[in-house]
Amino acid sequence: MQNRFLPYLLTLPSLFLAAVVIFWPVWDLIQISTHEVSRFGQLREFNDFANFTALLADPDFMAALWRTGQWTVLVVGGALLLSIPVAMILNTDFYGRGIARVLIMLPWAVSLTMTAVVWRWALSGESGMLNSALIGLGLIDHNIQWLASAETAFPMQVLIGILVTVPFTTTIFLGGLSSIPDDLYEAAALEGATPLQQFREITFPLLKPFINIAIVLNTIYVFNSFPIIWVMTQGGPANSTDILVTHLYKLAFRIGKLGEASAVSLVMFAILLVFTMIYVRLAMREQRA
């Protein structure tokens, strides 16, 4: 008897906390998004999901949705590809490893907004550091207006996104690498395995659970990431670098359409929920097999 209730009792405090900080706002969002709502959030009548149909009819929303997909895949994928070799290098013993580790972790210590502000200055067309550096190196002969159009602004934002995602990802992988026993490599080396074979047969499979964690967590963070794009372009020019969060912010706090903004927010929540569930399912099935 006692045993059956105990687990529930023990999870009750955290369930209560989750209710206050997660369920209640989501419930509120559902209320706002399904009702006609005033400029300042007072609910009026139920409006037959008009906020959701308005989104589907809005080309800016659809474009932002598509761009959010690109943004998430590119940043998460890029950070992953970069972090595995970085973590492997940092895991080997070499002179100055401490400093190298600190250098890699450093971007993590700076607030994301400040990083974005610094890059905005660095990418300024006439007085930016990047242009003067490139001209100094003789790589370009006239200033590039990085943030003037999406063709150059968005790739730069993706690169910065990767840069700030690498430290966290590397940390996860370093933890993973240190859990792989050294004798596996020694045994493989004795059998004559090349470094590439060692990576394919030992490192990568044993790192997989950590890669899965990194993918899920990074996807959630990056999908919801606001500062980089907002600070550098505010989703502009002409909404051409908008992702869902920046689109939502403009809808809610510039134009005052709280209902539609709440609908966007719920759509984002649903996408992440479905992604996480599917991904965790797949990853776990693989592990069991």
Partner 1 sequence: MSLAKWTVGLMAGMSMLAFAAQANAGEVRVTVAEYSAKTGPYFDSVKKEFEAANPGITVKFEVVPWEVLLQKLTTDITAGTNADLSIIGTRWLIDFVQQDVAEPLDSYIKPDFKDRFIDTFLSPSIMDGKTYGLPIAASARAMYYNKELFEKAGIANPPANWTELQEDARKIKALGSGTFGFGLQGKEIETDVYYYYAMWSQGTEILNKDGTSGLGTPGALEAAKLYKSMIDEGLTEPGVTSNNREDVQNLFKQGKVGMMITAPFLSNQIKDEAPNLKYGVAAIPAGPTGARGTYGVTDSIIMFKNSKNKDEAWKLLDFLFTTEQRAKFTQGEGFLPVNKEEAKMDYYVNNADLAAFTALLPDARFAPIIPGWEEVAQITSDAMQKIYLGGDPEAGLKDAAAKANAVLKK
Asked if 38 is part of the footprint of partner 1 (rule: CB under 8 A), the reply reads yes
- Phi, psi dihedrals of residue 224, rounded to the nearest 5°: -95, 5
Distances (CA, A) of 240 to 163, 210, 223, 246, 286: 22, 34, 17, 11, 39
Asked if 41 is part of the footprint of partner 1 (rule: CB under 8 A), the reply reads yes
Q: Which of 64, 250, 259, 267 binds partner 1 (CB under 8 A)?
A: 250
Least distance from partner 1 to the Cβ atom of residue 40, Å: 4
Binding range to partner 1, per CB under 8 A, among 32-40, 77-85, 172-180, 275-283: 32-40
Least distance from partner 1 to the Cβ atom of residue 57, Å: 12
Distances (CA, A) of 67 to 96, 99, 239, 251: 40, 37, 11, 17
Q: Using DSSP, state whether 111 is helix, strand or coil.
A: coil
Of residues 143-202, those binding partner 1 (CB under 8 A): 143, 145-149, 153
Asked if 20 is part of the footprint of partner 1 (rule: CB under 8 A), the reply reads yes
Nearest residue to 173 via CA among 202, 213, 200, 219:
213
User: What are the residues facing 46 on neighbouring strands?
Assistant: 35
> Which residue, 120 or 208, has its beta carbon nearer to partner 1?
120
Residue 179 tokens, joined: 């859990």
Of residues 113-142, those binding partner 1 (CB under 8 A): 124-127
**Cα angle: 172, vertex 18, 287; to 5 degrees:** 40
| Interaction pattern, residues 53-92, with partner 1; x per rule: CB under 8 A | ----------------------------------------
**Cα angle: 189, vertex 193, 196; to 5 degrees:** 115
**One-letter amino acid for residue 229 of the chain:** I
> Which residue, 86 or 251, has its beta carbon nearer to partner 1?
251
Number of residues that bind partner 1 (CB under 8 A): 33
- Phi, psi dihedrals of residue 11, rounded to the nearest 5°: -85, -10
Give the interface with partner 1 as residue ranges (CB under 8 A): 19-20, 24, 27, 38-42, 124-127, 143, 145-149, 153, 233-234, 236-239, 250, 252-256, 258
